[in-house]
A and B are shown apart, each in its own frame.
Chain A
Amino acid sequence: MKAKIFAVIIIIALGAFVANSAKVIDKGTEGQYTGVKAFDASESSGSDWAKISEEITTNAAEINAIDLNALGAGKAIKIHGTVSEFSSKAGGKRKSIIITPENYSGNMIFSVQLGSVYTGTSVRDSQTIKKFGDFTNQTEWSQYAKALNSQLDKDVVTPLAINDSIKGKTITVIGAAVSSGNQVNITPVSIVIE
């Protein structure tokens, strides 16, 4: 009998210890306990997007008016022409089109990426609304670039549901561009298909 009572007391004591000693905090809710708020790139990019889109649109240079070999980390450009190619790789995650521009006699190839995965940081690097110094570190700055790309995918590209049928259509794209060799890669902030 004594042994049974002793065992019950031990079990109750152990239960109380476990209940009080370990509190599992769900991932992402740490800030409720520490007061430290995790950086949310999408929150920042979402509130900046309208201004950034407007700035790139306002500053967009015609392709004949700039040195396409000196676009740096990102420059706002505008291109008008005909879609000559559509391609889709990586299970549709890497879609792009090639535009043959009107009134252009150079040898550059103009590619526009259409997601859903975007490469590069040209949109971030062609705007002046936010700068690196506004962020705590390189990782946040990098996440901000990625969040801007997600924002443009949601607002600009996805609603158009672009597929192979776009070939041959006339198009106007405004976006942030970088160049590599003889290729200009554009991340769009505005697409108008005629």
Chain B
Amino acid sequence: MKKLLIAALSAVLVVCFAVSAFAAGGIIYIITPSTSNPFFGTEQRVGAAKVTALGYTPKCFSHDDDAAKQLELFEAAIADKAIAIICDNAGADASIEAIRKAIDAKIPVFLIDREINESGLALAQIVADNAQGAAAIAEKWVEAMDYAGDYAELLGRESDTNCWVRSQNYHSVINEYPDLKMVAQQTANWDQTEAYSKTEAILQAHPEIKGIICGNDTMACGATQACIDAKRSDIKIIGLDGSDDAAAYVAKGQMVGTALQQIARITEMAIEQADEFIRTGKKPAQEKQLVPCIAITKDNVANLSQFVYTEK
């Protein structure tokens, strides 16, 4: 009888603990690059909303692409007894130390947007399929170019993996057509102002160009504005991201298109997987997960808003 009573009391205590733990939620850190870029702002905005909707408390921070600052934020999360960290990391190698610290402190980490160069640490690495996205929008661009003509390329920051993934996959499509000739290739470091000035210089040196391919939308917007100001709206331009600024140019026919990285969806997926792990202990089926990009052109740009694509 005594044993039965103890077992019953234990069961009640376990249930009470589970209920109070669920009711109390817990803190989930969302750590991203600077939110001055709307892409990363979306990660924090959508992430905080999803975390709150699932009954947890979000805490959002930016590491500003500084690995040391990122490490401090991970340490703060550990001190804060966070129950999960969602992170768009500050470097494929530089972030490993911070993530390892969190794992050692039994805090699961779910990475979004950027991979790290180590498997088995983060429970999930959910990224947009940059390679597929670049190839998809390049296919639209070669059609717009009618498969011929000189063009220029604006690269992102050359130390960034995505810079080369995107460039290689643009060229995997474009190089199939020998009449498309690249006459200039320069880095504009993902930056709009730099893209504007580089485009001005390229237009002066190579007035014959018919197109410009850009590693992201920020540079594509800079290049597009430079072409508009130079009265060269005939130039076919693409970017990659799916930002509202680029979408506005696409809608007006001033850009051929962009490839949407579904970052809102990616962020929600990471939080859903974190929630499932917290509640059930079930890990995501796969650590590395790719989310396809969507080629955005004038035909479907009306479906895009704030990095969310809604078929109408």
Contact = CB atoms under 8 A, between A and B. Distances in A.
Interface residues of B, number: 28
Contacts, number: 58
A107 B188 CA distance: 45
Given A132-B290, A181-B299, A142 B169 contact: yes
Given A73-B292, A93-B147, A142 B172 contact: yes
Contact of A119 (B139, B165, B288, B289): B139
Interface string B132-155: 100110010010000100000000
Contact of A138 (B129, B136, B142, B300): B129
B176 A133 contact: no
A90 interface: yes
B136 A146 contact: no
A90 B127 CA distance: 33
A187 to B, nearest CB: 13
Interface in B119-139: 127, 129-132, 135-136, 139
A81 interface: no
A139 interface: yes
Interface in B258-283: none
Contacts of B169: 139, 142
B42 to A, nearest CB: 21
Interface of B: 115, 127, 129-132, 135-136, 139, 142, 147, 165, 168-169, 172-173, 176-177, 179, 286-290, 292, 299-300, 311
Closest 7 CB pairs of A and B: A142-B131, A90-B147, A138-B131, A119-B139, A117-B176, A132-B290, A73-B292
